[in-house]
Amino acid sequence: MSKIVEGTQMQKQLLGRKDGEAMMSNLSDSSMELTDKEANARERTAKFSADRDRYHPEEDRPADDDMPTLAFSGTAQETADNIVAMATKDYVEEVELSELQVTQMPSVPAEAVLTLELGGRVLAESRAHCQQGHARFQERMALQIQGGGSEGQSCMLRVSAKGTRSSPPNCPEEFSAEVAFTTKDIMRRVHSKHGQQYFHYRMLPKDSSASASLRPSLSMRLREVTGR
C-alpha cells in the first residue's frame, strides 16, 4: 500500500514538473515575442529620426521664435471681410452700359443728349433723336469702378432734350431728367447671383414745371467687361 502511495506522489511530482516546464517555456516565448516587438519599434523610431534629419537638418529648421505668426482680432467674419477688403481695394473693374433707352419724355421732336457723370465729372456722352417721347442711344458707355464700389461714390445718368425747328412753338425749350446710384449698387447689380443684365430706373424731371407730370424712365444693360 505504501508503495502505491509513493508511486502516486512521484507521478504528481513528475506532472507538476512538466507543467512548470511548460509554463516557463510559454513565458520564455512571450518574453522573446515582446523583445522582438520592442526591437522592431526601436528600429522604426531610429529610421524615422534618420529620415527626418536627412530631409530636415536641424540647422535648417526655423526656431520657434522665428516662425511667422498672424494676429487676428474680432470675429471670423470680420477677419474675412478685412482680408477681402485688402485684396480688392486696388482692383479696378470696368462696367459697360449699353442699349440705353429713355422713354416718357415730352412727345415732341427733340434732340436728346445722355451723359454719364461720376463725381460731377462727365465720363461719356451719347446723342439720339427723340420721337414720341422715346430716345434710343447707340453708343456704349464705360465706367471704371475701384475696389468693388462704394456707397459714398455716386454716379449719374442725365438726359436732356431740346426742341428742334419742327417742334411746336409752345413746347418747353428744354427737358431734363436724371437718375443717380452708387458705384456699390452698380457692382451689386453687375454681380447679381441671378445673372441679370437688364435694368430699369425711374428718372426725376428737373427744372421744368411743364414736365412735372412726366415720369421718364431709363432702361439699360449692365455687364462687367474687365479685360475683354
pLDDT tens digits, 82-91: 566 555 566 8
Mean pLDDT (whole number) for 166-170:
53
For residues 146-168, one letter each, b for 16 or more C-beta atoms within 10 angstroms of the residue's C-beta and e for the rest, the string is: ebbbeeeebbebbbbbebeeebe
pLDDT (tens digit, 9 = 90+) per residue, 96-143?
999 999 999 888 888 999 999 998 899 999 999 998 889 999 999 999
pLDDT at 107: 83
Residue 114 CB neighbours (<10 A) = 24
Tell me the pLDDT tens digit for each residue of 17-54.
555 555 555 545 555 554 666 666 667 666 656 655 55
The mean pLDDT value for 66-91 works out to 58
Which of 138, 118, 142, 140 lies closest to 129 in space, CA to CA?
A: 138
For 105, the 3-state DSSP assignment is coil
Which residues, in sequence order, are CB contacts of 103 under 8 Å at separation 6+? 133, 134, 216, 217, 219
**Per-residue pLDDT at 75 exceeds 90:** no
pLDDT value of position 54: 54
Q: What is the mean pLDDT of residues 215-221?
A: 94
pLDDT surpasses 70 at 161: yes
Return the percentage of the chain with pLDDT > 90, whole number.
38
Tell me: the pLDDT tens digits for 173-212? 678 999 999 999 999 999 988 889 999 999 998 865 456 6
Q: What CA–CA distance (Å, rounded) separates 121 from 117? A: 5
Per-residue pLDDT, 156? 96
Closest CA to 114 of 132, 136, 131: 136
Report the distance separating Cα 13 and Cα 8, nearest Å.
9
Of 160 and 73, the structure prediction assigns the larger pLDDT to 160
Q: Are 109 and 124 in contact (CB under 8 A)?
A: no
DSSP class of residue 207 equals: S
pLDDT higher than 50, residue 168: yes
d(CA 64, CA 78) in angstroms, rounded, equals 28
